[in-house]
Amino acid sequence: MSPLPVVPRERARRDVDDTIAFYLSQGAADTAIGFVDALEKAFETVGTHPAIGASRWGDELELPGLRSWPLAGYPFAVFYVERPDHVDVWRVLHMRRDLPTALGEVGSD
């Protein structure tokens, strides 16, 4: 099976940009680079094995098909839905956020 393309929504891209900007503002360029590397690995994993992610938040929030996959070494997760032709990334969120509120914002898209 060929990997599916991983397509972040605009909000997910902003999540990533905001996180990188935060790390850079703290003088943590190595951490920002590590975050990007971990994100790329997570995207590769969910593109190759989309069913691998946990469905907990999708079940709790009644968002069918929503899954999450953690970023190795970072307190973030990728929230996504598998589509027939791609992986639809909704958000990339810190796990201490108010996840129901953050995920509910895109659940209505």
| Domain containing residue 26: CATH number | 3.30.2310.20
Where does 5-46 show beta strands of DSSP type E?
A: 6-8
Give the residue numbers spanning the domain of 32.
6-107
Number of compact structural domains in the chain: 1
The model's pTM: 0.92
Mean pLDDT computed over 21-25: 98
Angstrom CA distances, 87 to 3, 23, 35, stand at 9, 27, 20
Nearest to 12 by CA among 101, 97, 92: 92
Average pLDDT over the chain reads 93
Please name the residues in contact with 8: beta carbons below 8 A apart, sequence gap of 6 or more: 16, 89, 92
Mean pLDDT computed over 37-61: 95
Which secondary-structure segment (H or E) carries 19? helix 10-25
Asked, for residue 1, whether it belongs to a domain, the answer is no
